[in-house]
Structure 1
Amino acid sequence: MLKTLSKIALLVPALAAAAVWLIVLRLKSVPMPLLVPYGLLLAALPAGLLWPRVLGRRSTRRRVRAFPGIPAALGTLALYLAVVHHVTDLPVLLALAAVAALTWAAPAFLRARRAAGGRAAAQTRRAFLAGGAGLVLGVLSGLSPGWVERRRGQALARGERQRQQAVRAPGARRRIADGAVRVFPIHAGDTIVTYGQFYGGLDGWEGLNGYLRTLVDKAQIAVPVHAYLIDHPRHGLLMVDTGVNWEQAHDHDGYYDLTSRLLTERDEYRLSPGQDLRVRLARLGYDAGRIGTVFLTHVHDDHAGGLRSLPQAEVVLDRRDWDHGVLYPHSFDLVKENLSFPAFDSGAFGAFPAGQDHFGDGSVILLPTPGHSPGHMCVLLRMDGGSVLFVGDTLYTLPHLAVDQVRQMTIGGADTARQLEAARRIQALLAAEPATVPLFAHDNTRYHADRVVPAFAHGRPGKEGLRELRTHMEAVLTPGWRLRAGHAPRFVPPESGTGPGRVEFR
């Protein structure tokens, strides 16, 4: 009985590890017809090694290693190389192969000494070959880091040349300094998400169930990542969020460590040379090195990646996000000594029981909106003729303001309740301030493309431009925050059958 319990104690973690690996592969879009037989092999291997007869009356552990074992090992190696491997792993892989070869060679030498005649000679040859291969692999492992870094350096240098070409392309502007507050939307890349993650919060995409559905449902869409430059006559150059950086999109697997790579998709970000934050700033007539403050709505990497281009900036974010949010340290490496955490002690602001008057003059108000992340916050900016509210990811698009009809995937439980409460506070603020317009981080609707971009083309929409944005908002949403006809999202599969689909509004 004790022996059986011990075997079960070994089998359970082995099956759990196999299940986690299968989930990772599914997250990376490995098709189910391939995963099912592969998963059966993974399950059969530990079960067969512990109970050989479970695979047949004549089965032995040696047969188990040869039949389920070898295909499972080769399949694991092939899948790893196909969907996880990056050139930065090469030194580690060579080192592991060297250790394996030397580990096999050592007992082979011992067996050769005990053997006699031709068998001893054969064992000795195999041992020498394995030992020699191990030494060669070890030397290559030591030499490979330099080659890997040179290869990555060459790729990044090509990217830098492409960005410089984009900066020099015709149509660049000069900064206008006339004492007005200006805001410039910056399309800083795209991210690939499942349609349900973006629009399915009322269809079961919530909490753990929502995350599990992302493993199965691969109906994907590409959505923009918007950052915003603020040119303020009193407070200098500011930004709300920073978008995606070049390495995230073009050297994704090198940018993230192995654990992060296992939990993310290789093509989750897209960024053209013209969308790079440094290029966009330069094309608008600004120097990235002059950005003094970044207001980070939250620490997720599609909002924080561009911080690597702004190492001199003070980064203002809610401490709860820094302490408990999902962040990737590499995006913060260059600014981690420049962080500032608001106390939210300036008193109530409209529907919000607490806020932070950041500069003390009412020009920029920080509003806590937790839920999407532990310390998510929105930013209200006063401009000539009205205000803009940078919503971050509390609500993805203008139709998401109809939170009882259109909802993104939420974390679940108390976090979902907090996010809905924040959404309703935003509704109340917009209702109470008719000269305030919302600006979103991922809006993929006509509101951003056809209204926000033209209105802020020169950074200064004025009272009339803000009024036109509110008019469009009222054409999409009723006073009771319901969608009007013709504005409900619908997924349209890609015509080719592969790649992201698109969203129609009907």
Structure 2
Amino acid sequence: MIRGRKLRLVALAMVLAPLALLASSFLAAPLPAPAPLPDPVPAASPPAGMALFQLPTGVTHRSAAFAYRGGSFRDPRDFTMTAALVQHPRGDLLIDTGFGRNIDAHFREMPFLFRAITSFDRGRSAAEQLEAAGYDRTRLRGILLTHAHWDHVSGVSDFPEVPVLVTSEERRFIEDGGRLTAVARMAAPHYETYAFDGGAYLGFPQSHDLYGDGSIVVVPAPGHTPGSIIAFVALPNGHRYAFVGDLAWQREGITEREERPWLARTFADRDPPRVRENLLRMAAIATRFPDLTLVPAHDARAFAALPTL
């Protein structure tokens, strides 16, 4: 009898131990503070008439606990799916596209488990918002993807005439990413790859200046996907923004140096150590330049200050 009780206790412990370990992965565990960033603010000459707008296209329903370690399950967060329109005299740019007209079909392409735990509300697509504003789509130079997951590329198919700018690493990921990049393959746009032909930028080893004036500078930030990027935007009024894609889902990931909980980063991140490395780079930048606006792709608070078109 005693032996049977011990066996039951051992079996119970074997069940509870992994659950306790999983639960602990949601607890706050800040990454070590990075070394101070000595770099000065990078030079930029954004032209007059340059402007930045948000195009919110919908939300998914999550909690802070899902987004970063230390977040509360009782803190609901609507993860925004928002495109950003950058108007520039040499050609406008969309940073990501959010939900497109065919979002329902695109959502069905996602793995079953993801669909089972995800609900979303759709808004007007970026294309519909541009049409309603009377925007001349021939002004669009391209769509700059922070990365190629479904919720960033769903609207790409609404702009068949517009080149989509990606790194060569992300282009390969689109072809080889299975269901995770099925929507990017369905869109079948004209992809243009670019190289990081510039020097170091704010602690990132390479960069690419899209217009040559410092107004939009792209740096490599692999980890979430192989070719993820961060886009730094400088406006004529002196305001600067860092569109960090899914490096962090909410800004606390950077400001509190909290990575995603184990379960989320296991399924979401291709290379968690590189995500961690780039989180710390951005944390150093945020400390060095507190006026820089961090724009995680799914943080509604980050987009709140941007005007709509």
* Aligned counterpart, 2:43: none
Name the amino acid aligned to 1:328: T
Q: Which of residues 172, 185, 200 in structure 2 aligns to 1:348? A: 200
Deviations 1:85-127 (A, max 9, x none): xxxxxxxxxxxxxxxxxxxxxxxxxxxxxxxxxxxxxxxxxxx
How far residue 200 of structure 1 moved from its aligned partner, in angstroms, is: 4.2
Q: Which of residues 53, 68, 75 in structure 2 aligns to 1:184? A: 53
Deviations 1:112-153 (A, max 9, x none): xxxxxxxxxxxxxxxxxxxxxxxxxxxxxxxxxxxxxxxxxx
Structure 1: distance between partners of 2:270 and 2:307 = 40
* Aligned counterpart, 1:439: 295
How far residue 251 of structure 1 moved from its aligned partner, in angstroms, is: 7.3
Q: Which of residues 378, 390, 402 in structure 1 aligns to 2:230? A: 378
Q: Residue 243 of structure 2 aligns to a residue in which SS?
A: strand
* Aligned counterpart, 2:209: 357
**Residues 1:284 and 1:182: Cα distance change in structure 2 (over 3 Å):** farther
**1:315·1:335 contact (CA, 8 Å) conserved in 2?**
no
* Aligned counterpart, 2:146: 297
The normalised TM-score by structure 1 is: 0.45
Q: Which of residues 158, 161, 179 in structure 2 aligns to 1:309? A: 158
* Aligned counterpart, 1:462: none
**1:343·1:356 contact (CA, 8 Å) conserved in 2?**
yes
Q: Is 1:239 aligned with 2:239?
A: no
Query: RMSD between aligned alpha carbons?
Result: 3.3
**Residues 1:407 and 1:435: Cα distance change in structure 2 (over 3 Å):** same
Name the amino acid aligned to 2:56: H
Name the amino acid aligned to 1:356: H
The normalised TM-score by structure 2 is: 0.70
Name the amino acid aligned to 1:359: Y
* Aligned counterpart, 1:265: 115
Q: Is 1:428 aligned with 2:280?
A: no
Q: Which of residues 453, 457, 463 in structure 1 aligns to 2:307? A: 457
Q: Relative contact order (alpha carbons < 8 A, sep ≥ 6): 1 or 2 greater?
A: 2
Q: Percent identity?
A: 26
Q: Residue 391 of structure 1 aligns to a residue in which SS?
A: strand
How far residue 417 of structure 1 moved from its aligned partner, in angstroms, is: 1.5
**Residues 1:267 and 1:250: Cα distance change in structure 2 (over 3 Å):** farther
Structure 2: distance between partners of 1:426 and 1:194 = 23
**Residues 1:439 and 1:251: Cα distance change in structure 2 (over 3 Å):** closer
1:81-480 counterparts in 2 under 5 A?
A: 179-193=48-62, 196-200=65-69, 222-233=78-89, 235-249=90-104, 252-253=107-108, 256=109, 260=110, 262=112, 264-265=114-115, 268=118, 270-272=120-122, 274-288=123-137, 290-324=139-173, 326=177, 327-336=180-189, 338-384=190-236, 385-405=238-258, 407=260, 409-411=264-266, 415-444=271-300, 447-448=301-302, 452-453=303-304, 455-457=305-307
How far residue 268 of structure 1 moved from its aligned partner, in angstroms, is: 3.8
Stretches of structure 2 that go unaligned for 5 or more consecutive residues are 1-46
Name the structure with the higher helix share.
1
How far residue 252 of structure 1 moved from its aligned partner, in angstroms, is: 4.3
Deviations 1:351-405 (A, max 9, x none): 1111111222322111111111111101011211132111111011222223444
Structure 1: distance between partners of 2:182 and 2:259 = 33
Q: Residue 390 of structure 1 aligns to a residue in which SS?
A: strand
Structure 1: distance between partners of 2:67 and 2:137 = 31
Name the structure with the higher strand share.
2
Name the amino acid aligned to 2:299: D
* Aligned counterpart, 1:11: none
**1:202·1:405 contact (CA, 8 Å) conserved in 2?**
no
Q: Residue 316 of structure 1 aligns to a residue in which SS?
A: strand
